[in-house]
Structure formats: C-alpha cells, structure tokens
Homo-oligomer: A and B are copies of this chain.
Amino acid sequence: MPGNSFGRVFRITTWGESHGPALGVVVDGCPAGLALSSEDIQVELDRRRPAQSAITTQRKEPDEVQILSGVFEGKTLGTPISMIVHNYDVISKSYEDIKDTYRPGHADYTYDEKYGLRDYRGGGRSSARETVGRVAAGAIAKKILALEGINTTGFVKQVGHIVAEDIDFGEIEKNPVRCPDARKAPEMIKLIEGVRREGDSIGGVVEVQTTGLPQGLGDPVFNKLDADLASSLMSIGGIRGFEVGMGFDVARRRGSEANDLMYMGGDGRLRFRTNNAGGLLGGITNGEDLVVRIAIKPTSSIPKPQETVDKYGNPKELVVKGRHDPCLCPRAVPIAEAMVNLVLVDHLFMHRLSRIGES
C-alpha cells in the first residue's frame, strides 16, 4: 500500500500539503452509534495549534475542522468520516527563497530525489501541518477509548538536559511547555526562550502513558502493540527514537533487575511489582499502565546561517526565515497522544476477534 493510511480495522488516510487549499483525513472503520460533533475534534486541534503561547510559533492557523461525512444527527453512521481543515495563513512568498535551496534537516532534498519535484511551500506534504489529520482522527479514537475507561496522557518529559522528575498529570496543561513537574517547567521554558534568542532550537522527550487498559491488546508477532506504537510514533516528523517502559536503560540491566515480578493484588487481580516492561509482555497489554517515550529532535528551521546547496548543486548559506517553534515538544504532545490512541482503538477492535466464543 502507499504510505498515507494507518491502521487495520480502524484506518485513517491523511492528505494535504502545508500550503495547499486544505488538509484532512478520512477515518474508515469507526463503528456506528458513537456520539460525535466537530467540537470533539476541535478541542484536540486547538491543543495542537500554533501560537498557543509565547514559546511556540506565532503563525496563525485557526485550524477549524469541518466534518463532511459519516455523522448524521450527532451519531456516527459506520461510514467513512471525512474531516477537512482549510488553510488560511498562507504566506507562500516567504518560502520563495527556499524554492531551490535545500534546508538542512528538512526533507526538501529527499522529496526532490524521490519524486522529481516537490511543493516547496512550507515543506508541502513533509510539513508538520500534516499532523492536523492525525490529531482530528485521534480525537475520535479518544472518544471510543473513553467509553472503555481507557485514557491517554502525554507530557514533555525532557527538554535539553532538563528532565521532569515528579509526574503530576494535573500540572501538564498548566504550563506552556506541558511539563508535569511544576518545578522543572520554568527551567524548561527558560531554556527554550534562551535558545530562541540565540537563533537556535532544542530537542526533548515526550512521554505518553495510558491507564485503564484491559489485558490482551496486541497481535503477535508483527503487530505487537509496541511494534505498532513504534511505527505510529516514529512516523511523526522529527522523531529519532522510541522506547517502551525501561527503554534504552535496559541495556545496562540484569534480568533480575529488569523482570517485573508478579503477585496477586488485593482485588484478586494479578499485578506486577514494577513496570519496567511498560505495560506489555510479548507485545500484549498486561493490565499495567502503558508507558512509551519518543526522542524529538531540535527544530531544523533555525535563523542561524547554515551551509547547504541548492538543487543545481551550488553551495549556499541559508538563513531560514519564517516563524518556527524553538522546541517541538509542547505541540508534539497532542500528536503523540493521537497516534497512541489510534493504535489502541485498532487493537481494541482486533482483540474482540481473539476468541471463538466472543460473538
């Protein structure tokens, strides 16, 4: 299959270029009977939108979503849900100077190599605006999961060398960096503002946790839940790493440290002494919280002059203009949540087909 669809039985197809007339998504496989309105979608898009705070880009993208199909009298029909967001704040002029020049860290060069041409305006299809469709679809997934008591929360775990230590979900949306550690949030903000002043950018880590998961989600062997989560999250632009539970730290550990020992909880439910595995065993949920993290590169578009070449092979020095986030992490939170939720709904539905008696 071509690359613009994701999921098996809850399947999305996104489309749209950054500066084209619109972007959107078609969600196929949403069951009938779900209460759904454009407000359900808009609230998530608003969390993704630029210009939410001083530390994000000041580009204006109202990103108003319209549902074009699949919903009738407030309920889903079981037919494809098509959602569209029109593009308005399109200053294509500001991209004229990079029409022929490859921006370091961007996909300009590889799109040209792959396709022989590209929409250079704002990165075209490789723009982060592409995630508008993902977030819109993810909002539907979130509603379905909520009916089952499943909730996904993302937050900024790390910016540069600053790492959140106290994880308080209640703090996350109180600060513009979406840090769950009230003490570390100001430090992160200060760091981000500092790099911006220097004409630079900074990387970080986003963590996503899901609570309320039943046991049994995940399809061995190639659609293990962690494999699908990795695919979904690595498909976001600018991600350089994915880990689950203990993650890369596991490389330094012994089996006796890493294994999560089992016991019977007071409620008669099997529990684990630790959650090093991040909620999965053999790629299947074990009833503990799902914990995944992604490493996010520093924004590639920086005003600092950088060495590059143009499409004709001439050396160039490039100063990227435009309005860019100095740190991608805060706005990556709702995107990462969306991808996790999309994977979970797909697996929730597939799981209903696991046993012969489940009719």
Contacts and interface: CB of A to CB of B under 8 A. Distances in A.
A17 interface: yes
A23 interface: yes
Which of A200, A222, A270 lies at the interface centre, i.e. has the most chain B CB atoms within 10 A of its CB? A222
Interface stretch (A40-48, A119-127, A166-174): A119-127
A322 interface: no
A319 interface: no
Nearest to A309: B262
Contacts of A182: none
A155 interface: no
Given A160-B252, A240-B247, A79 B4 contact: yes
Contacts of A84: 68, 84
Given A124-B79, A352-B353, A259 B306 contact: yes
A79 B15 contact: yes
Contact of A250 (B108, B114, B203): B203
A78 interface: yes
Which of A118, A251, A350 lies at the interface centre, i.e. has the most chain B CB atoms within 10 A of its CB? A251
A125 B284 CA distance: 13
Nearest to A25: B26
Contacts of A205: 248, 251
Contacts of A9: 1-2, 8-9, 350, 353
Contacts of A186: none
Contacts of A20: 68-69, 72
Smallest CB-CB A-B distances: 4 pairs? A107-B282, A3-B219, A241-B243, A3-B223
23 contacts: A2-B350, A3-B222, A4-B26, A13-B28, A15-B80, A31-B355, A32-B114, A33-B115, A84-B84, A105-B281, A114-B218, A114-B351, A144-B356, A148-B359, A200-B256, A203-B252, A224-B234, A227-B232, A228-B231, A235-B283, A253-B297, A259-B306, A261-B306
